[in-house]
Structure 1
Amino acid sequence: MAFGIPAAQRPEHVPVERVIDFDIYAVQVDDGEYQAQISRQLHAPGAPDIFWTPQNGGHWVTARADLIDEVLADPQRFSSRRISVIEAMNPTPPFAPLQIDPPDHAQYRKLLGLAMSPLAVKALGDQARALAIELIEGFKAKGECEFIGDFAAHLPIAIFMSMVDLPAEDRPQLLDIAESLVRSDSLMDVMQGNQRLAAYTLQKISERRSKPGNDLISQLLAAEVGGKPMDDMTLLGMVDLFLLAGLDTVASMMGFFARYLALNAGFRQRLAAEPESIARAVEELLRRFPIANLARQVIDDCTLGGVSLRGGDLVLLPTAAFGLDERRFERPEAVELERKSKINATFGGGAHRCLGSMLARVELRIFLEEWLARIPDFQLRPGAELSVHSGAVAAIRQLPLVWDVD
C-alpha cells in the first residue's frame, strides 16, 4: 500500500493527496491474520479516513468505522445496486433484495424473512447441531482434519439444502461450485461458478413449478410482488443469494474462529470449561474477525468524511477496518469476552443488514459448543501455511488441525 501516488487516470474531483495504491483483492497474508493486516494498512499513521485507489477500475475506500456506519445507514446517498467494485463480480441477475434499494427492497426482504423466523431458525439450528455432531464424530478418532473441507463448508450448505429441499446426493456438486465462488482468485473460475450455479438453480425452479412442495423455492414461486408473480430471473437471484450468503459468511467465519482457538489455548480452554460464555464469545469473535468487503455506489454528488464524491463513484467498505478501528474499540486486536461493545459490521448494516444473521450466529454457536465438547484441545498442524483468499469475503483456503487421540 503506497501513499500519495497520483493515478494516471485520476478523476478531476479526486485530490492527489487522497490517492493511495491499495488493492483489497491482492492482500498478501501467510499466517491467516487477515483482519489485522487490513487494519495495519488502512489505519497506518498518516492514512486518510477515506481515500481513492486506482485499482480495480478506481474507487473510494472507507478506512474508519464511523464512515462505514454512515454509508450503510444512508441508502438515499449510497446505493447497493453495485455490491462489488469489480464490474464482472456483480451478480447477473441482481440479487433481490440485496441489490434493490429501499423502499422497493422491503417487499422482497419480507418474503425471505419468513424463512428466517425464530421458529424456523430453531428448527434449522437443531439440524445444524445434529450434522455438526455427525461430522466431528466422523473424524475425531483420526486426530486430524482439514477444517474447511471436512467441517466448515458442510454445515451452511446442508442447511441451505434443507431449506430448499435438495437431494443429499447434490451436496458434492454444490460444494464444488461453492469452492470456485468463495475461495478462488481466478475471475474466470468465479464467472464459471456463477454460470454453473445459475443453471442448477434454474433447473430446480423449473422442477418446483411443475411439482411444488413446502420448501423455500416453492413458497417464492407462489408469492407475489406488486400483485404479480416473480419471474425466473428474480427467483434465481433470491435463491442464489441465500446459498452464497451462508457459504460466504458462516463457513468463512468458522475458519477464522477455529484458527484463533487453535492458537490461543487459554481462551479455548475457558470456553470449553464455561460453555455458557460461548454466545458472548461468538459476538466478540465476530467483532474481531469480520470478513466482508462490501461496496456501495454513490447516487448523486455528495460529501463523505470531508471529501467530495461524484454520482456513480464506487465506495469500498472493508468490515475489518470497522472491527479493528482503535477509535471505536480499545485494544481492537485483543479478543476480550468482557468487552462491553461488540457491535460489528460483518453482517452489513442499515436496511440491508443480513437477513440470515440470526441463523449464522446459531450455527457459529453450535459449532463451538459441539466441537469444544468433543475436541477441547487442538492445534494447527506444525508447519502449516495459511493462505487467505481476499474477495467479497475473506476466507482461509485450508486449515489443517491436529489433536491427541486418547
Structure 2
Amino acid sequence: MRGPLEGCCILVSGASIAGPALAYWLHRSGARVTVVEKAPELRPGGQLVDLRGVGRSVVARMGLDERVRAAAEANYGLSFVDGRNRPRGTLRAEDFGGDGPIAEIEILRGELSRVIHEATAADVDYLFGDHIAALEDRSDGVDVTFASGDVRTFDLVVGADGAHSETRRLAMGEDAAHLAHLDTYLAFWTAQNHLGIEDWTYIYSEPGRTMGMRAILDNSRVMAFLSFRGGPPAYDHRDVATQKRIVHARAAGMGWECAQLLAQVDTAPDFWFDSCAQVRLDSWSRGRVALVGDAAYCSSPLTGHGATIALVGAYVLAGELAAGPDDHRAAFERYEERLRRWLVDVHGLAAGQGQMMTPESGSGIALRNNLVRLARYVPGKSLLMRSQMRISNGFELPDYSVSTVPAG
C-alpha cells in the first residue's frame, strides 16, 4: 500500500522525542525520512518527562503504550519536607487521575527516546554525530550542508532540535529573539539513593530555591533536581562547566540533604541545566522548513507538558502533510491553526507551577505546604487541579488514519 507522501524525502533534525515521533508518522504516510542527530548516539537517562492526557493517546495510536509503560518509572507520590525530612504536605499519584502534579506515566527522557527510536530504526535513516551547518531553501527543495561536509537536497526539512534550535536559527534568525525567560532555572542529575526512597519524591524548599530527589531505576538511584529564581541568563547554554558552577553557587548553604546531592553534580553523566523559557514564534515554518516540539513552541519544564506537546505536535504535523501532500505551505498553516490555541493554554500553566515549585518567601513555602496538606481532606479535591487536567485533555486529536499505511 502506497502512502500519500510516497517519494517525498524529508530531513528531521533532532533524535530526542519529537524527531523520532515525527519520523514514525511520516514513514507511515510513505515518506523517506532521514533523522540527523548531533550527539554520537542516543542520549540515555536525562530528566523525567510526563505523558499527560492526549500525549498518552498519541502513544496508544503508535502502538507503543505497553512498551512505554514498561519503561516508565513508578512514582506513587511526593512529599514537601522540612530540614529533618518530616513531611509538611503530601500528594499521591491517584489523587488527580494521572494528570495532576504526578503524571500517570513518568519516564526518563532517554528511555522514551529509545522506545520510539526502536520502533522506527528499521524504516528511518538515522545519522548520528552530524548536524545541519547550512540551509538553502529553494522553490523546489532545500539544499542542506551537513557539518561532515556532505551536501544533500530534501523536499522538506523539520527542526526538532530543542529550545535552542539551530534549525530555527538558520531558517528564521537569531535564537534570542524567540525565547521568553520565566525567571526560573532548573538542573537535573542522577545521584545515589542514600535515603533508600522507594517510588516517591521528596522536595525541600528555602526562599527562592528548591531541591528534591525522586527515586528512579528500581529505586537504585534518584533524580536530583534544583530550581532557583533568577534573571535572564548571562552564560553560554553549551558551557556545562559554567552551569555546574552556577548550580553549586546558587545551592550553597542549603539545608536538608542538599550537600550530599550537590557533591555528585560534577561526576553525574547526565547533568542538565537550563533557564526555564518559552519559545514564542509568529510562525512555525518558513518556506520548506518547519519546526516541531520545543524548537517551535517550548512551554518550559514548568508546565509538565513538554513531552506531551512534542508527541501531539509531531502527530499533527505529519498528519497535515499527509492530508495535503501537494501543498506543504497549506499543510504547515493547518498544523499551526489546529495547535496554536491549545498551546497558548499549555504555556499559561508555567507561572503557577513556578510559584508552586519555588516560592520566594518563607511564608510562601508555608502556604504551599499547608494547601497541599489540606488538599487530601477537601471533598472533590480534583477540582483543585481542574484547569491543568482540562488543558492536558483539551485537544481533540484529528483522525489521520486514511493517510497512513498499517504499522509493521
Query: Structure 1 length normalisation: TM-score?
Result: 0.28
Q: Which has the higher contact order (CA 8 A, sep 6+)?
A: 1
Could you say which structure has the higher helix fraction?
1
Could you say which structure has the higher strand fraction?
2
Query: Structure 2 length normalisation: TM-score?
Result: 0.28
